[in-house]
Structure 1
Amino acid sequence: MAKDNIRTPIVCVLGHVDHGKTSLLDKIRGSKVCASEAGSITQHIGATLIPIESIRKMSGLKKDADINIPGLLFIDTPGHRAFTTLRARGGALAEIAILVVDINEGFKQQTLEALQILRNCKTPFVIAATKVDKIPGWRVHPDEPFQKTYAKQNERVQGILETKIYELVGKLSDLGFNSERYDRVRDFARNIAIVPSSGITGEGIPDLLMVMIGLAQRYLTESLRITVDGPGQGTVLEVKEERGLGMTLDLILYDGTIKVGDEIAVAGASGCIETKIRSLLKPRPMKEILIEDRFERVKSVTAAAGIKLVAPNLDDVIAGSPLRVIKGDRQKIIDEIDAEMQTANIKLSNLGISIKADTIGALEALSKELESKEIEIMRADVGPVSRHDIIELETMKEPLHKVIICFNTDILNDVSEMLKDSRYADIAVFSGNIIYRVIDDYIEWREEQIRKRDAQQFEAIIMPAKIQLLPNCVFRQSGPAVVGVRILGGLLRPKVALMAMDGRSIGTLKMMQNKGETVTEATEGMEIAVSIDGPTIGRQINVGDVLYVEIPERHVKVLEAEMLSHINISSQEALSEYALIRRKEHPFWGK
């Protein structure tokens, strides 16, 4: 018969990049994960088990306090907003959350996104107002509870902190949340607790842990009841090869029990993979599962836990996939995993760039970020960049689509050699281990390519312009005529044909001078001297006449269809007037 048990609550850590999420966990577990992460930004979801004995010691909970939860399992989620999808998963998976906010910077865009996720998922949360040690004049008292260290600050510093706390309270109120400093909260079900703290000095950490345990104990006990004998369910965090073990899976087990010898189903690159567990390894308490450290071998694990799993045929497992122990209807379990993987939130187009990443979640994050910038994606895959990827890119007609963005995934050696070949010189590869930097690099490159393309197109296209012959400025009547003109609109360049207002071709503008200096461009309002080959002033043209640059029909089509938004108002007006003259006789001219 199934036995009921209380499992470890899963705690999700959310917040803006660089507001101190990982530093907070580093302080709790005494590790240095933050220093090892690229750019000191967490790039993957990690899991840390904090046993209740450690929490009692750090928070000052009395030994006789009636606590029935076994500890807290922290999920440290990525900080940058490109990971919105992963944070949403974290919020959905967790029973309780810590929203980290730098007390000196306040709410940022990612903070607001995290709040929206927590609201949508109806996840209870506490705010860790971090970096109190950065308040000017703050006197550090390492690892002390907040109230003790606060009492030792001078009045000016206390006043600064109170102001910053109430700025957070005011912002939360604007967003529809009631909140207060944790020691002033009477009803934690109605008010969000704000805990001032520091991940560097440890100040306020005891209070944060105490509040988390209190919330879990009071409001989550019933929801934490699990069936110990139920089949294990989890999410794969990472797929990696370990020396002496072979290919392994790091995963979060969030329900049921998993045992050595169990058959499991997990998503692979080519469909569902079924295999049998050879070994289970559990990180020692207070250690981050992503840190290469000694694990202890166990026969079985009950949720919630971060564990390492060893089994055959794991090479093609996709990070981010669901994992299920196979009990009961085997086909139903496989169908559920396939269905879950097919619902990955990636919007593909018939045309666009290609993206690669090491996990499904990172792929979704890239997709979401690019979609927000209206950048279309044609292909999205998990895994290293292969020869096939490059060959397929080379078939693209649009140069701006010959791009592959890859996050935290390898570029195979033969691909690197392939890209040195001149045949593939027009393919751009953007690779890195911090998503937002890779995306920023791509966008900078794309804008530069567009700028170059526009410049080339503008140079090739004859631009619209409208000029008027000035009185008392006829320097030569013909052969060529030299006369002063005012630019009434548009952009005037030499070596263009000119047309009268009645549609007659007048001649060719050869040279332009401004104050005795030869120029290659003149804009609205300028008065310059020009030489015109063909007409005689006083016969074909006269002082006061208005002339237009004569633009070929195909150029007018390009200007009106593709370049209108790139030219100024006076150029648009000159183009419109010129086209109107042409269309008097041929209504569809240039259309």
Structure 2
Amino acid sequence: MGKVRVYSIAQRLNIKSSEVIDYLGKKGIKVSSHFGTVDEETANRFMREWQQKTRLKSRIIESEAAAKKAEEERKARRLAYERRKKELIERATPRIFKERKKHVKKKKQEEEQERVVRITGNTTVYEFAKKIGVETSEVLSKLFQLGVMLRKNDFIDESAASVVAEEYGWKLEKEEAREEKLLSELAVEPAEEKNLKPRPPVVTVMGHVDHGKTTLLDNIRKTRVVQSEAGGITQHIGAYMVTVDGRKITFLDTPGHEAFTEMRARGARITDVVILVVAADDGVMPQTKEAIDHARAANVPIVVAINKIDKPNANPDKVKKQLADYGVVPEEWGGDNLFANISAKKGIGIDKLLENVLLQADILELKSNPDKDARGVVIEALLDPAQGPVATVLVKEGTLRRGDVFVVGSTYGKARALIDDTGKRIKEAGPSVPVRILGIHDVPSAGDEFVVVKNEKIARQIARERAARRKELQVSAPKVSLEELLTPGEKEVKELSVVIKTDVSGSVEAVSNAVSRLSMDEVKINIIHAGTGAINKTDVNLASASGAMIVGFNTRPTMEAAKLAQDLKVDIRTYKVIYDLIDDIKKAQKGMLAPEVEEEVVGQVEVRRVFSIPHAGTVAGCYVLSGHVLRNMRVRVIRNDAVVYEGKIASLKRFKEDVMDVPAGYECGLRIENFNDVKVGDVIEVYRIKEVARE
């Protein structure tokens, strides 16, 4: 009789050899391994028994599966029956009982779960009311009862929000803004004195037009800037460094005070010293005074450069006297300001001026810690066709290195390359060093803060959060308008900053004194600038940066200034009589203000020809520049930015036909009541007066 191996039996039955060995062992047949053998009869008997066992097992499994399927079908029929029964009951139940049932269930769930409302420091009253499910007017009423005067778009204080939330059954939790959470990781402890090292001063040159600012900058740059090796050509990047006796000075190539003000308005106070350039032959001029006002508002020390001393009619002592009258007193006269007599054109006195700047820097003790991640401010930014978004950054503290990941404004990037003011690629830039950065995802704005972060993930999160917040909120510096001042009980005003402009210089002092005398315990009047001429963009920028309002006497804003004021939400008020402003503030303080009188400009026309009509007077041939002209409307005649007459339109015609209305882009003839001194080039402003009841 032949022999059969164990693994051969296992293959025929499609089972494991170990199962064959175990089964044979139970029958008393010992097999050591799958290579072991048994006789053919034993093998056949084993295979028959195994097949019978397998068939029986299959029948049992099939029976259990059928029973399970039957049970599932029975359960499905039961569920369908219950669902159908519930639907029939729902249809038969009156609606009022169903609503009551839902309300009870919802109330029970709310009682089981504590209600929590989370707010950040930038949550408005409207957003808070929406979160707790209460009408905004009701929340404002509750706040009023607590003595908190807010509008729906004002930010709500945490303590007041907590009281209101508790009254409506909510628990208040202060939630840190996501951006603040991310930036908290970047918070750096104040540097120890031993880690601080001297840094170069950052200087801005300011002054009146044609007094030599640009010539001075060109002279300093030409003689003091270290020339690059590639042909001695330097690259303008908005700022540059000069070397004086082994020490460096950083000059911002933005000499105009307008740029200085705009950066200060963004909160970017990056200038340490201001060089005020005054011509020795002209003396103190209007923009000189404006430059002084801007420097004082930013609390930046002034070093005076009296320029053009080489001219025959130069009078430096007269300039010193004029500046002293305006509060800029020379050191030799007992003041705090350093003076230098220079000639930017001939290079006279430049060394003395730069020494004064370094001396002022020593007095300020300018220091910074270079051994940490960099922080800085964007000076200028642009989209370069070849290099993409590029920004010039002034490092304020720390050291910026190539490859650093950073956040700047609402964008971010990685410093692919750093280029200094000479056009050379550098590996790092320390405090007060201007550097051009490549590798930004988008073009930032001038004045944006630049911060190095740990990795690109954090930078991307912060940038996205800032971009989202910029869309949601229009956060601006708090400004006090006359409407707020004149609304009794609505807001406690501590200080009202004012910019005053008049038509002639003789009125400036009188108006300033009259306004200053209005200061009281409740309202302090702070005149930050007073001058003559039309209200211009510089005045609006200064007012916006300082949270001030602008008051004009017998002068008007230019069209550009009016548009900018509207964009920046700067309040401009014009008066013909000083007592009108005084009366308004006095009435406001007593809470007895009459309905507000508003002036609405409806159109502007330009006089292009003048006709003298016998027995009728002078008729102005005009072109409507903007808006439209209506008969019997009030008008004011403006000549050389000054108001020369105010009255009413006596007649309005087109092609000898009397008309009621002439829109923009059309010509017309008009006659002003009791006024015949109309001249070609005059601008006639058409306006109406309306009364608006105060809320």
Measured against the shorter chain, the TM-score band is 0.3 to 0.5
TM-score normalised by length of structure 2: 0.40
Higher relative contact order (CA 8 A, sep 6+): 1
TM-score normalised by length of structure 1: 0.46
Larger Cα-atom Rg: 2
